[in-house]
Chains A and B, each alone.
Chain A
Amino acid sequence: MKALRWIGIGVLVLLPLAGLGNYPLHLMIMCLLWGYVYTSWALMGRLGMTSFGHGAFLSIGAYVVVMGWNHFGLSPWFGIPVALALTGLVALVIGYPCFRLKIVGHYFALVTLAFSEIARMIIVALRDQTGGSLGVTPNTALSNASWSLLALQFSSKLVWFYIILAVWLVGLWIWNLVNRSMARIALEAISQEEDAAASIGIGVTRLKLGVTMISALMTCIGGVLYAQYQLYLNPETVSGIGVSLQMVFGAIAGGMFLRLGPTVGAVFTLLLTEALRLALGHDIHGLDTTLYGLLLVLFIIFMPKGILGAAITLWRRHRSTPSAATA
């Protein structure tokens, strides 16, 4: 399995060098970027904390950095720590009381939903600074150069591919660290029966807050990358209920209990949208959303472990049947 992993990474590293066009490269970048964001969400989502508020973290990352650059000439390299600090603070302010007061399940989902809507409303309300619903473009640093490290802007998609590939790999590595920690086992116990877990000495609030912090900070970085790569932002694509639900469902469709599950979800939803667009053209609006919604309903009813989860179960069953017959 270990060899397989390195081969996979090797293929991903070498693939763009084979001279892919801009469009396939863009698709791969988007798959990895959303895969990373969904992975960040699933880090806490799979432990029973269904957050509908991750759009807020995504928008803090995206908007703080772009606003700093546009209005104060602050380089993203300084903007990123500011955004991370703000995200951490916000996650603490929302998370601590929630976990302390045992706001779980439906209530947690709906409280965090309020929160992602607040982020969207604030961005729209500050329309003089943020451009409101019309969105905003970071001031370009590429007018007479093809890249600017200071402004974190690169015209080459290849550069972006490697940056985002690296971030995605770090995301998976963090997943691994969390997965192998005692904290994960404790958190699983908490998600099963919070009071019982507390009674055997598990620090419920501290653990939940810890994993929420990691998840929120990772999502914030995803927002930064999205803004710098797309060079265009609007409140609907990075904040509010829409993108928050998109994260939840992307992760679930792929399989949120597996490391690569959220990435599979991102690949699946992006390819679905693109395939429909290519097959039917731009004129038919809404078909992708219709199919997406329908598939989600079917997934949750028939395949709650997601695509990857179901595939692995199927594969294991397939493999174990012949060996059981010979044994």
Chain B
Amino acid sequence: MIGEGPLPFHKGEGQGGGGMQVFDVFLLEAVLNGVLFGGILALLALGLNLIFGVIDVVWICYAELIMIGMYAVYYLHTVYGWPLWLAFPACIALVSVLGAALHQFVIRPVLAAEPINQLLVTGGVLFLLQGVATLAFGVEFKNLGVQLPTLQLGELYLSATRLIAFVVALAGMIGMYLFLTRTYLGTAIRAISQDRAVMPLMGVNPHRIFLLTSALGGALAGLAACLLVLQYDIHPAIGLSFGPVVFLVCVLGGLGNMIGGFVAAFLFAQFISVGGYFFHLEWGYVIAFLFFIAAMFWRPRGLFGARS
């Protein structure tokens, strides 16, 4: 139940000491890092938005699914010696199954109950997963031990892991977009998200679509786990350090609005990165969160939601 500090953001990179020059190379680095971080956030937000858009449920335990995925990669790779190219798909498959199970056994029984109960029940799952992870894996920090080189561009230093993560996250999002717009199932998912009541009349089985969407959301969480495990140490409470940020990104973009979430992720990451550059990492988060609250009062349904 213990939360951790924010994710170490400028890990191992040169960090400027608050210089006020506008074209500071460190500032540029902070901006670029913000863009790369934004890619990951966007991927995280996409899964949550997909679930919310279709099923109208917020998975409070979304970050904990990612945590389980990170452990899966860690154990498969370092303990059982699987190569990463095999461990990654296994992780995605596992978290995908977890997502479907979450829907089947936890969400489905409360689908007809008050909406807030669906939010709360996944909060119970949050504690459950955290507890199980502590029981099974202990509270020690675990590291995958895969070190990729740092790229140097002139005076700029960028971590290759972060760049790879960014590219994969973008590819994942494009893949999801194509799936949703070009396939029959994707079209059915989008249709359900627009009108939950009418689609069953058109011969679409909503339960099957919900289950499939949950599995897809889980797969996206699994993909995010593969990218995050390269960058951060794993511990049972890691979900609490990025979970709240992801929820805020989704709300900022308008819950269920995938494009909004995408833009909001990059905005948010810039606030954290550049704010953290000028002051301190925690202040970056504080500024980003304050921006979020101000934005909510300006546009209560999210930056890209319909005006109420």
Contact = CB atoms under 8 A, between A and B. Distances in A.
Interface in A104-123: 105-107, 109-111, 113-115, 117-118, 120-122
Interface residues of B, number: 54
Contacts of A113: 244, 247-248
B135 A117 contact: no
A294 B128 CA distance: 6
A176 interface: no
A300 interface: yes
* Contact count band on A: 35 or more
A121 B113 CA distance: 34
Interface in A230-247: 236, 240-242, 245-246
Interface stretch (A30-38, A157-165, A198-206, A279-287): A279-287
B294 to A, nearest CB: 9
A284 B3 CA distance: 19
B127 A133 contact: no
A216 interface: no
Interface of A: 48, 50, 94, 97, 101-103, 105-107, 109-111, 113-115, 117-118, 120-122, 124-125, 133, 236, 240-242, 245-246, 248-249, 252, 284-297, 299-301, 304
B290 to A, nearest CB: 7
Interface in B284-308: 285-286, 289-290, 292-293, 296-297, 300-301, 308
B296 A111 contact: yes
Interface of B: 1-3, 5-6, 58, 106, 109-110, 113, 115-117, 119-121, 123-136, 138-139, 236, 240, 243-244, 247-248, 251, 255, 280, 282-283, 285-286, 289-290, 292-293, 296-297, 300-301, 308
Contacts of B296: 97, 101, 103, 107, 111
Contacts of B123: 245, 248-249, 296
Given A110-B248, A290-B131, A300 B300 contact: no
Given A103-B300, A293-B130, A300 B244 contact: no
